[in-house]
Amino acid sequence: MKPATPTYAHTWTALVLTAIAGAVDGAGFLSLSQQFVANQTGNAVLLAVAVSGELTGREDGLSPVGPLWSLAGFSLGAVLASLATRRHVLTSFGVPLLLVVEVVMLALAGLSQGFSLAIALAAFAMGVQSVHAARIGLAGVTTTVLTGTLIALSVNLSGGRSGLRTARLQAGVWAVYLVAAGLGSVLANAVSFGAVCGIAAAVAAAMAVAAFAEAHRGRSA
């Protein structure tokens, strides 16, 4: 089966969600002792290196605490979001509601004074965002972990015209993540991690309003 060609709306949704993840990840890595809140593959490596250091007595300054909080928060957010949007548990407004949850979690992460809590809350938001992207059908694009997107991009580059259109979106997602991560780190250094979370929450809130409006139009049609 050929992958679905991304629509205009899906393209912008993928790019904006990826920008949110990139900005929060860049800010978190700089401000939260080099912890990822979206890129859980990186956290798995950090956790493994930290644990190996603990077991061997190696002093490299890495702690397993941050990666564990991030992995736990992300997993919990993804699981709860997945359960909440199964079938008709939250009716047709269930998927847009995930964006509302993301807004709340990002805002709380930005306001949190605790290191571990900030990591867990931001990671929870990214877990919810991952499920949101999956539920709205962003095929070949994961907005928080981009290794899979890179693989899909490589495959689509060798495909036909439809594959190339999807590849352009996937390449755009990578570019947006890189730029947003850089901007997030700059803003976190100049202002604070909370400022980045606040901006990300505001963008997600605007997306939520648009998503609820679209869902309402769909129910009225």
Q: How many CA atoms are closer than 13 Å to the CA of 91, on its beta-carbon side?
A: 6
Whether the CB-CB separation of 177 and 72 falls below 8 Å is answered with no
pLDDT cut 90: percent of the chain above it: 44
Q: What does the pLDDT read at residue 157? A: 74
Q: What does the pLDDT read at residue 4? A: 46
With a CB cutoff of 8 Å and minimum separation 6, the contacts of 144 are 21, 25, 38, 39, 40, 126, 127, 129, 130, 133
Cα–Cα dist 6/178, whole Å: 21
For the stretch 90-106, pLDDT in tens is 545 567 888 999 999 99
Whether the CB-CB separation of 3 and 166 falls below 8 Å is answered with yes
Cα–Cα dist 215/25, whole Å: 29
Higher pLDDT, 192 or 147: 192
Q: What does the pLDDT read at residue 1? A: 39
Residue with tokens 């904006």: 16
Cα–Cα dist 158/145, whole Å: 22
For the stretch 26-81, pLDDT in tens is 999 999 988 899 988 888 899 999 999 888 888 877 888 999 999 999 999 999 99
Whether the CB-CB separation of 184 and 26 falls below 8 Å is answered with yes
Q: What does the pLDDT read at residue 219? A: 67
Burial 13-45 (b: 16+ CB within 10 A, else e): bbbbbbbbbbbbbbbbbbbbeebbbbbbebbee
For the stretch 107-147, pLDDT in tens is 999 999 888 999 999 999 999 998 888 887 666 567 776 76
Q: What does the pLDDT read at residue 110? A: 95
Average predicted confidence (pLDDT) for the chain: 84
Higher pLDDT, 23 or 220: 23
* 159: confidence class by pLDDT, cuts 50, 70, 90: low
The pTM for the full model equals 0.85
